[in-house]
Amino acid sequence: MAMSKTRNSVGAVRTGSRTGIQILIALGVGLFSLFTYFSQTQFNEVTNEKQHVAISPRQEIALGLQSAPQMAAQFGGPAADPVAQATVTEIGNEIVARSDARKTPYKFSFQVLDDSKIVNAFALPGGPVFITEALYKRLKTRGQIAGVLGHEIGHVAARHSAEHLAKAQLTQGLTGAAVLATYDPDDMSSRNSAVIASLVGQAINMRYGRQDELESDKLGVKFMTQAGYDPNSMIEVMNVLKAASGSRTIEFFSTHPNPENRVPKIKEAIAKEFPNGVPAGLTQ
């Protein structure tokens, strides 16, 4: 009996020592992740904000060019409609050339993808912008197309992809620290802590993604009006998306706020750009 108690006591000491070391290492990993994130900052001339990013614009461009073919292939590759492609390219280039987006170093390109089922538009870091045929065919005016493209150009100009990479690194570091501090190979229940920590990290990144969408709406309003398009067309885009929301193939709602929740913010952005009302003569 005495020997058994001694072994248990030694085991408890070893377990306590192991836990203490785990906590110290986890604390170090967490502090290093926080220091790295907050020490890597760059100023964005378009948004006039200091951002936490870890890569340069040149690296963003390289990432976008490298991933563009694979992303396009997921939606059927380039669309076969030359008129649609020419229209989207023309409007996209107009917005970049006539708006503050021209101040960025990014290499913008615009492509319609051959997917007639999935309603989607997205931008890659560095400038590639895509819109599926399923969304393009729902848009009835050049202004509506400008609203979609202006929003996606906003993502690039605001460097949202670079921000997300930095946030993902921070989340990964903090999640790893939490798992390291709580995981016990001899306790199966501690594995649940690792799962919970991972889910929390994903939820944080998703929340930031929704805020990015609202910022891109504001930038989209600014860019499209600078290019001569009526910003009210972006509100019409929200109506198009709302009408399409009954389809299981719409992908906007995985990260975007619901259209009806975006409209008030878009109206606020329009009012800020035009406090005396939207002038006549803008392209709708």
What pLDDT is stored for residue 96 in this prediction?
98
Please name the residues in contact with 166: beta carbons below 8 A apart, sequence gap of 6 or more: 37, 40, 52, 53, 54
Alpha helices in 227-252 (DSSP H): 232-244
At 63 the pLDDT is 83
Digit-by-digit pLDDT tens for the chain (284 residues) are 444 444 454 444 445 555 666 666 656 655 655 555 455 678 878 888 887 777 788 888 988 888 899 889 999 999 999 999 999 999 999 999 999 999 999 999 999 999 999 898 999 889 999 999 999 999 999 999 999 999 999 999 999 888 877 666 655 544 554 554 454 555 544 445 444 444 444 444 444 467 888 899 999 999 999 999 999 999 999 999 888 876 544 444 455 667 777 899 999 999 998 999 999 899 99
Question: What are the helix (H) ranges across 40-182?
Answer: 57-73, 82-98, 133-136, 142-157, 160-182
Residue 28: what pLDDT?
Answer: 62
**Cβ pair 256, 245 in contact under 8 A:** no
Dist. CA 240–CA 259, nearest whole Å: 9
Q: What is the reported pLDDT for 114?
A: 97
Record the pTM. Answer: 0.74
Q: Give me the pLDDT at residue 62, please.
A: 87
